[in-house]
Amino acid sequence: MIKPKIALLVFALSDKEEIKQKPFLAQGNLIKSLHAHTKSVISTAGLPVIYFDEKLQKGNNFGSRFTNAIQYTYDQGYDAIITIGNDCPYLQPIHIHKAKNALENGNSVLGPTYDGGFYLMGISKESFNRSDFLDFSWNSEVVYEQVRHTFSRSHKDCIILEKLRDIDYLVDIERLSITRITNNSLRNSITSIQSRGQYNHPNKDLNTSLLIHKVILNKGSPLSSYFQF
């Protein structure tokens, strides 16, 4: 069996744009720590990485921008993709490796979050349906179930990874367990914010926030400017 050519698609905003959407990420250097953590995780993947930040994303809403990024990746000659954002402090190399194995065995893969979205998605080119992706209720609490249901319609299995927490709002930081965060810089940033105990930052409407797993995050560009290797 010939292994598929897999790319890792990082769909996320630049530091500056992230802070515009989620001002609390400026606290404790959190946004820089999240990006550094993501960079560390993907450096072990052994996969070509494509970044899509706001400079390369094309479309009039989140769904179209994410869908276009996926299509672009396939158009570069890849057979399958693993897509992530940079708002999941619990993400580890094992999650990328499990997704890679799933795709190599002909399966799709999803990593759900507690708010009804996902922090990771793996899908082959042949299973990708552009119309379905444009119709999903992105940035909502039902998008994970919609995607899972669509994947289940194919003859292949959908591998479900462990459920993890991501950071969409300041209050999400309160729910994080420091013991699960392996990156020292990220742990220090989150500890600093948790110690202040102020989680009443006004939430933005999910439909106007550019989030990752909900992927503008949940999910930079070829050699994006904010991740340098």
- pLDDT (tens digit per residue) in 54-88: 999 999 999 999 999 999 999 999 999 999 999 99
Give residue-wise pLDDT tens across range 93-105. Answer: 999 999 999 999 9
Q: Is 34 exposed, middle or buried (0-12, 13-18, 19+ CB in 10 A)?
A: buried
- Residue predicted with more confidence, 203 or 76: 76
Neighbours of 199 (CB within 10 A): 15
* Structural domains of the chain in order of their starting residue, each with its CATH number: 6-196 (3.90.550.10)
Contact between 133 and 63 under an 8 Å Cβ cutoff? The reply is yes
Across residues 108-127, what is the average pLDDT?
Answer: 96
Q: How far is CA 174 from the centre of its chain?
A: 20
In whole angstroms, give the CA distance from residue 215 to residue 118: 8
pLDDT confidence of residue 199: 60
Q: Is the pLDDT of residue 11 over 70?
A: yes
Assigned token pair, 193: 């914010």
Q: Can you tell me the distance from the alpha carbon of 107 to that of 127, in angstroms, rounded to the nearest whole number?
A: 9
The answer to whether 99 touches 44, Cβ cutoff 8 Å, is no
Residue 38: helix, strand or coil by DSSP? helix
**Strand-by-strand arrangement of the 49-52 sheet:** 49-52, 6-11, 80-84, 118-124, 108-112, 158-160
- What residue type is assigned to position 30 of the chain? L
121-137 pLDDT tens trace: 999 999 999 999 999 99
